[in-house]
Amino acid sequence: MQLIVGNWKMHGRLASVALVEALVRAGPIPGARLLVCPPATLVARFAETARQSHVGIGAQDCHAEPEGAFTGDIAAEMLADAGATHVIVGHSERRTGHGETDPVVHAKAAAAYRAGLTPIVCVGETLAEREAGATLAILGRQLEGSLPGAGPLVVAYEPVWAIGTGRTPTPAEVAEVHGFIAARVPAGTPVLYGGSVRPDNARALLAVPNVGGALVGGASLTPRDFLAIASAAPGSAP
């Protein structure tokens, strides 16, 4: 069973609940679990809409503290209270745009555990790092510094140079990285691939050894495309 996660980033309004309703109406997909991570403003509404269905609802970020004088931030406990089951931490857009370091990501992942959420910890290298042959060294450092202690966990490999660019690594490159990550996380941990996942490349990517699902960006905003990606998971109907 592969985990297919939709990261909506800063997209969506209340009317977007219709997209979740479409996913619920479509019914379960053999071989795939669906999780939608909308902006925090929509978590509660989406969770209510998807309640007792096959569609899970997660969030895109959280603060390390449970409460306090942190204007504009959202605690993991608040997300759990709103109905989230997972939270993405350490996305490259947070690491780059907000200066989040491995210790910051580690603290947020630990906060997810504290609140009863499953963290989706993101790791990935830039184009310059890949071209310098430093991919595995970068990922090793991020894994060592970002992963929390024992508990339910999802890891997402997102090559920074592939996000939103239409470029993707070759299956052999994905296999090398996912094998590297799988050897460094607890057995059974889903290792997702993220970075320009589309209906036309999903089947090849999801068939790579040690790929346990996908972290989907723009394509998750369209139910047809998101469902097509989920349907490409091994074990789903052709």
Which one is catalytic: 77, 100, 125, 158?
158
The CATH number linked to 167 is 3.20.20.70
Helix, strand, coil share (%) of the chain residues, nearest 5: 40, 20, 40
Residue 73 burial (10 A CB sphere; 0-12, 13-18, 19+): middle
Structural domain contains residue 237: no
Tokens read off for 29: 């997909």
Residue 158 annotated as catalytic = yes
Structural domain contains residue 182: yes
Which one is catalytic: 91, 100, 106, 178?
91
pLDDT value, residue 60: 98
Structural domain contains residue 183: yes
pLDDT digits (tens, 9 = 90+) for 114-143: 999 999 999 999 999 999 999 999 999 999
The number of residues making up the chain comes to: 238
Structural domain contains residue 106: yes
Structural domain contains residue 238: no
CA 29 to chain centre: 19
Structural domain contains residue 8: yes
- Cβ–Cβ < 8 Å for 89, 122: yes
Global pTM? 0.96
Residue position matching structure tokens 């894994």: 143
Measure the N-to-C terminal CA separation of the chain; round to a whole number of Å: 15
Q: Which domain holds residue 86?
A: 2-231
Tokens read off for 169: 């690594």
pLDDT digits (tens, 9 = 90+) for 150-170: 789 999 999 998 887 778 789
Structural domain contains residue 130: yes
DSSP secondary structure letter of residue 117: P
Residue 98 annotated as catalytic = no
Helix 17-26, helix 223-231: angle, nearest 10: 40
Question: Domains in the chain: how many in total?
Answer: 1
Stretches where the chain sits below pLDDT 70 are 236-238
pLDDT value, residue 226: 98
Structural domain contains residue 126: yes
pLDDT value, residue 71: 98
